[in-house]
Structure 1
Amino acid sequence: MKNKLIELACIIDDDDIYINLIRRIIETKKLCENLIVFKNGKQSLDYFESLLQNSNEDKVPDIILIDLNMPIMDGWEFIEQFTKIKNRFNKLITLYIVSSSINPVDIDRAKSLNTIKDYLVKPIVINQLETIFDISA
């Protein structure tokens, strides 16, 4: 049986091919109602800070899929800054790192952070997405 549908998910990644693939899977499998995409951590952090300023909790995603290697502000920098503001939202926001890095240093660092639910290595597969969106039986 399916659980409640995720209202809003967020992808923070600069890889257009990955974004299009994940978007297509999410839409085809109906994993969430809406999806927002940012090309780097700075764009997404600006978005979250504006939500706080405008008290707009409706546009806060339930799930964030974040890449580590991006221009302007990478995933680590975003996570560091987001951790400082995340508790100001009245909502549980679950962060997953989705990266092509198989470096044990990155994986261990991610696993040491309470903010990160899991570290997934690209390419991500449908079953992983279904698990993340908690609809697989």
Structure 2
Amino acid sequence: MSQNAQSICIIDDDNIYINLVKKIIEFKKLSRPILVFKNGKEALDFFVDSKENSKNEKVPQVILLDLNMPVMDGWEFLDEFSKIKNNSYKNINLYVVSSSIDTRDINRAKAIDIVSDYLTKPINLNDFEKILV
């Protein structure tokens, strides 16, 4: 495994996409642990718990966030995560990964200061290597 490999968190409700991403990451050895959450609420609960219980060593360095999910969508997650992301989570790179090519979604996501970039599904191997190595 590469010394530069980072832990990653996938927040997405699409099982096919999740399995594909996991297989690519594992095959190319681009990441150590891979956390998966099916909606923004599950992920937010994890980050709140990690912060409250000083479990920052388990917090991923990269988040791949879908926008359209049940329970709590990506926009709601971004709003809530912005409130808790401070020095504890300053080293997290958050990427919005969506099938939406609507420029309003892209511009809205990129305008949020905690978003590192907006990637359109399906993301390719070069995108993975760029953000994980």
TM-score, normalization by structure 2: 0.95
Gaps of 5+ in 1: none
Alignment of 1:18-33 (within 5 A): 18-33=17-32
TM-score, normalization by structure 1: 0.92
Gaps of 5+ in 2: none
Shift of 1:4: 2.0
Show CA shifts across 1:104-136 (max 9, x none).
110010111111111011011111111111x3x
Alignment of 1:29-48 (within 5 A): 29-48=28-47
Give the aligned CA root-mean-square deviation in angstroms. 1.2
Query: What percent of counterpart residues are identical?
Result: 55
Indicate the residue corresponding to 1:49 in structure 2. Answer: 48
Q: Which amino acid aligns with 1:65?
A: L
Distance 1:38 1:5 in 2: 20
> How many correspondences in the alignment?
132
Q: Are residues 1:122 and 2:121 paired?
A: yes
Indicate the residue corresponding to 1:79 in structure 2. Answer: 78
Quickly say closer, same or farther: Cα 1:4–1:81, change in 2 above 3 A: same
Q: Which amino acid aligns with 2:106?
A: I
Quickly say closer, same or farther: Cα 1:91–1:107, change in 2 above 3 A: closer
Alignment of 1:82-93 (within 5 A): 82-89=81-88, 91-93=90-92
Give structure 1 regions of 4+ aligned residues with deviation exceeding 6 angstroms. none
Distance 1:88 1:42 in 2: 21
Show CA shifts across 1:82-114 (max 9, x none).
011111515410000000011111001011111
